[in-house]
Amino acid sequence: MALNEDNPPLTTDLIALDGAPQNKEGVMEFLLDLAVDAGRVTDFDQALQDLQEREKQATTGVGMGIGIPHAKSAAVVQPTIAFTRVPEGIDFDAVDDEPATLIFLLLVPESGGEDHLEMLSSLSRSLVHEATREALLEAESPERVQEIVLEAVS
């Protein structure tokens, strides 16, 4: 998808290398808080509700240690990715029962059309590679995470 380079979906204030809660609900709220603080989301409760609705359809614990909760929501200002990691791993209702260590929150505005699906599939395609997952687990700065993720989705 065409991304605005001056206004990328992921900025360093949307990346928390540590400090996330150790459960699925908690991590989703933690990432959503980052998105609210970054001015990407106008209504925390609305966005959370939209994320939970999507989660009810099918888990976003897609396996290989990855969780990608995502939603299209009227509470979202612009396409946004927030990232955190939980080295110990958390239960994300994963299809392969593996604990999730890398968590991405994907949000797009209601008017975003299929943008979120394109962002989701580019990110998924890149996360299939073990090298990408390891680079994200080992990244020592938010800048490094941003570089890896933006390369994946652009």
Partner 1 sequence: MIERTVTVVPEDGLHARPATKFVETVNEYDSEITVGTPDDGDDLVNAGSILAVTGLGIKTGESITIRAEGEDEQEAMSALESVLTTPETDEE
Residue 7 vs 57, nearer CB to partner 1: 57
**For residue 151, which amino acid is it?**
E
Of residues 51, 40, 103, the one with CA closest to residue 76 = 40
Chosen residue from 27, 62, 81, 145 binding partner 1 by CB under 8 A: 62
Which of 12, 77, 110, 125 is in the footprint of partner 1 by CB under 8 A?
125
Q: The tokens of 15 are what?
A: 């990346």
Closest approach, Cβ 135 to partner 1, in A, equals: 16
Q: Does 142 bind partner 1 (CB under 8 A)?
A: no
Q: Helix 130-138 and helix 115-127: axis angle, to 10°?
A: 90
Q: Which residues pair with 17 in a beta bridge?
A: none
Assess 139 for contact with partner 1 (CB under 8 A). no
d(CA 149, CA 57): 26
Catalytic entry in 24, 40, 70, 72: 70
Question: Is 70 an active-site residue?
Answer: yes
- Residue 106 tokens read as 């994907």
> Which runs of E-coded beta strand occur in the chain?
15-16, 61-63, 66-67, 70-73, 80-90, 100-109
Residue 58 near partner 1 by CB under 8 A: yes
In angstroms, give the least distance from the CB of 14 to partner 1. 21
- The catalytic residues are 70
Question: Rule CB under 8 A: which residues touch partner 1?
Answer: 53-54, 56-59, 62-64, 66, 95, 114, 117-118, 120-122, 124-128
